[in-house]
A and B are shown apart, each in its own frame.
Chain A
Amino acid sequence: MLVAHKPKQIFASLAVAALLIAAWWIAVVASRSVIFPTPLQVVLGTVDLAREGTLWVHIGASLFRVGAGFLLAVVVGVPLGVLMGWVGGAYTVFNPLVQVLRPISPIAWIPIAILWFGVGDLSPIFLIFLSSVFPTVVQTVAAVHAIERRYIQAAENFGVSRYRLFLRVVLPAALPQIIVGLRVSLGVAWLVVVAAEMIALRSGLGYLIIDSRNAGNRYDLVVAGMVIIGLTGLLLDGAMRRLERLKAVRWRYAR
């Protein structure tokens, strides 16, 4: 969780991080590696990138592609998932298709992405969309299937229209679980950013990592890219978790 509750816990998690960094540092020094960077070199490399300004360009490019791909996945995945969860026939029709496409890694799609979309922004966006749309669909279907019958029965009892039943009961009842699904999907979208940007031209954190390796073994920048991806992922998850605090979905989460 982004917001730790007690100073003690913050201290404990910082201590664990410090221990790991110390172990990394000692290992690099002890092994006299010339290629693997120390934590200091990574920090210095990051500062360099930040000063040049390219760091922000890379982060911005990655966030844009992940944002676009993820939003597309939400716009397609949530309605499709709700439809499949609510209408039995739609589930029978679409579920086999979803289950066949789901296990295909986004990396396998790279050749086709290039064929269809070239090497601009569209290819990585397409790959990120593919990686996050299926978890979104699967979680949304599960969320709708998990709606307790007593709520549906109560709504039927009051004789509400199908439209109202859907808007006032089905959607809000499923929303907390849908939000959990979106958290997972955004995590996956961010996870595949490196793979998706292997084919990107000149920008993005994935490009930074691949390019630093290819152009002169700058492993300090490779690790810097990895650390920034990790920290950004933490911030994104923290932002998604804020959705769970909305009053209309609080009921579903234990804390």
Chain B
Amino acid sequence: MPAKIALADIRKSFPTAKGLLPVIAGIDLTVAEGEFVAIVGPSGCGKTTLLNIVAGFERPDQGQVIVDGTAHARPSPKGIVISQRGSVFPWLTVRQNLMFGLNGRHPDKKALADHYASVVGLTGFEKGYPHELSGGMLKRVELARALIVKPQILYMDEPLAALDALTGLQMRIELLRILAEERHTCLFITHNVEEAIQLADRIIVLAPRPTTVQATFDVPFPHPRRLSNPALVELKASILREFGL
């Protein structure tokens, strides 16, 4: 299968008062079309920086990001970022948020927006403002706003971390349901190992800063996955061992 995303020797440092702080020290990674890759790593190891580089919001000091065989430099609707803090526009209604990314000529933007609102289970809230919604519902808005532009890639930066445990679990199941319908390529950053195991086809463990790829785990289990499955329990133990736990 051809690589959808290919990272070659990505390196990045940030200038600080004490001189250059190396954050990423050479990462090579390929993600296949339609693959769901989860990246887990200790806090502050540079996961977000890596995602920003792949999505085109930051430039690496060295190395190359190749998407669909061409060097990728700028953010585009081809790959939409969903972050922990979220970026649903609070001054627009749910429907207006969903319509925001629809640039081209669409025969009926409103109907399309309402369709995607129903895909994420927000029917009845189209005219609501974000500050009237719960955290879980905001995530749904953000997800729907991304899905509506038919992105080939979803970049998710701890998208469920700010939710309470129950809502987080619910959203995992929702995410799997939606991804089963529209097979996006996903790069998913998390510090939650169980979340990674439940969602991903492959799990990349990053080393502490300056980060490199420390280990890779395939997760060849069909969905839905039960975390109590002995094979998954064993997988979780081996991933946690990478963190010294």
> Which A residues are within 8 Å of any B CB, using their own CB?
150-151, 153-161, 164, 168-169, 172-173, 175, 247-252
Report the minimum CB–CB distance from A226 to chain B (whole Å): 40
Residue of A155, A161, A172, A251 with most chain B CB atoms under a 10 A cut-off: A251
Indicate whether A172 sits within 8 Å of B89 (C-beta atoms), given known contacts A159-B103, A250-B131: yes
What's the Cα separation between A164 and B100 when bound, in Å? 9
- A157 touching B75, Cβ below 8 Å: yes
- A247 touching B129, Cβ below 8 Å: yes
| B130 CB-CB contact with A under 8 Å | yes
Chain B residue nearest in CB terms to A247: B129
- A251 touching B83, Cβ below 8 Å: no
Indicate whether A251 sits within 8 Å of B91 (C-beta atoms), given known contacts A157-B81, A159-B77: yes
Chain B residue nearest in CB terms to A161: B103
Chain A residues with CB under 8 A of B77 = 157-159
Chain A residues with CB under 8 A of B81 = 153-154, 157
- B75 touching A168, Cβ below 8 Å: no
Indicate whether A156 sits within 8 Å of B75 (C-beta atoms), given known contacts A247-B129, A250-B129, A251-B131: yes
Indicate whether A158 sits within 8 Å of B129 (C-beta atoms), given known contacts A248-B91, A249-B91: no
- B87 touching A151, Cβ below 8 Å: yes
- A154 touching B87, Cβ below 8 Å: yes
- A175 touching B55, Cβ below 8 Å: no
| B101 CB-CB contact with A under 8 Å | yes
What's the Cα separation between A169 and B81 when bound, in Å? 17
Task: Tell me which of A150, A160, A248 contacts B83 (CB under 8 A).
Answer: A150
Report the minimum CB–CB distance from B127 to chain A (whole Å): 10
Indicate whether A157 sits within 8 Å of B55 (C-beta atoms), given known contacts A150-B83, A247-B129, A250-B131: yes
What's the Cα separation between A168 and B76 when bound, in Å? 18
Chain A residues with CB under 8 A of B89 = 151, 154, 168-169, 172-173
